[in-house]
């Protein structure tokens, strides 16, 4: 090998590594990659489980479908679940690898504050649940984000609702000592 040809081979080797990435980045911009990723609620069984017990929580099962020709990695995701005016924020920081043309399930769970749990239990009749969020992905071509608009008609299974419907009401009771005293009592509605 001649000494004069070494820089040419180095340049060619660099071009061979660099050119496919440039062409792939032009052919697959971030918007197209995001369009080829589907993120939705799991269609069968329970896609959302709402536990309104003393330690209220919500658990979501989402489906991630990769229709890109590349292996992608879910870097992080955050979602907002809402039902009857009560809300819960769910997030995932676990990296999940999804091969091209495959389907992966994503499980998320978080606690709900008592105020939101009471709101959901009292006002859930006639109100539908919805989900919105954002997910960040990495692949060999580029990093991209997928914005999930509002997913409506989320099928929710509710557990321990009866315990939340029994809330204390305050009533005023006349006492013999000429004062009014608030007394707490449980009333079934």
**Could you tell me the end-to-end alpha-carbon distance of the chain, in angstroms, rounded to an integer?**
91
CA torsion angle for 35, 154, 136, 73 (degrees, to 10)?
-80
Instruction: Give tens-digit pLDDT for 163-178.
Output: 777 655 433 344 444 4
What are the distances in angstroms from CA 145 to CA 51, 72, 94? 31, 12, 16
Task: Give residue 21's pLDDT.
Answer: 67
pTM: predicted TM-score of the whole model, two decimal places: 0.70
Instruction: Give tens-digit pLDDT for 73-120.
Output: 999 999 999 998 889 999 999 899 999 889 999 999 999 999 898 888
Tell me the CATH architecture of domain 29-186.
Sandwich (2.60)
Place of tokens 């229709």: 67
Cα 160 to the center of its chain, rounded Å: 23
**Pick from 79, 65, 84: nearest CA to 156:** 84
Instruction: Give tens-digit pLDDT for 26-78.
Output: 777 888 888 888 888 877 677 889 999 889 999 999 999 999 888 999 999 99
Residue ranges in 41-131 assigned as alpha helix (H): 114-123
């Amino acid at each position: 090998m001649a000494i004069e040809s070494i820089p040419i081979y180095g340049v060619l080797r660099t071009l061979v590594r660099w050119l496919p990435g440039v062409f792939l980045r032009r052919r697959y911009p971030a918007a197209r990659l995001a369009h080829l990723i589907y993120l939705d609620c799991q269609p069968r069984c329970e896609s959302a489980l709402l536990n309104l017990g003393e330690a209220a929580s919500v658990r979501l099962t989402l489906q991630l479908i990769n229709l890109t020709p590349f292996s992608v990695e879910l870097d992080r995701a955050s979602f907002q679940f809402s039902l009857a005016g009560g809300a819960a924020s769910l997030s995932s920081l676990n990296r999940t690898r999804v091969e091209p043309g495959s389907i992966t399930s994503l499980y998320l769970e978080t606690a709900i504050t008592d105020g939101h749990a009471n709101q959901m239990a009292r006002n859930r009749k006639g109100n539908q649940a919805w989900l919105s969020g954002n997910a960040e992905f990495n692949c060999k071509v580029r990093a991209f984000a997928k914005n999930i608009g509002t997913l409506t008609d989320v099928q929710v299974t509710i557990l321990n609702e009866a315990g939340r419907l029994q809330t204390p009401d305050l009533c005023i009771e006349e006492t013999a000592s000429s004062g009014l005293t608030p007394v707490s009592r449980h009333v079934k509605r």
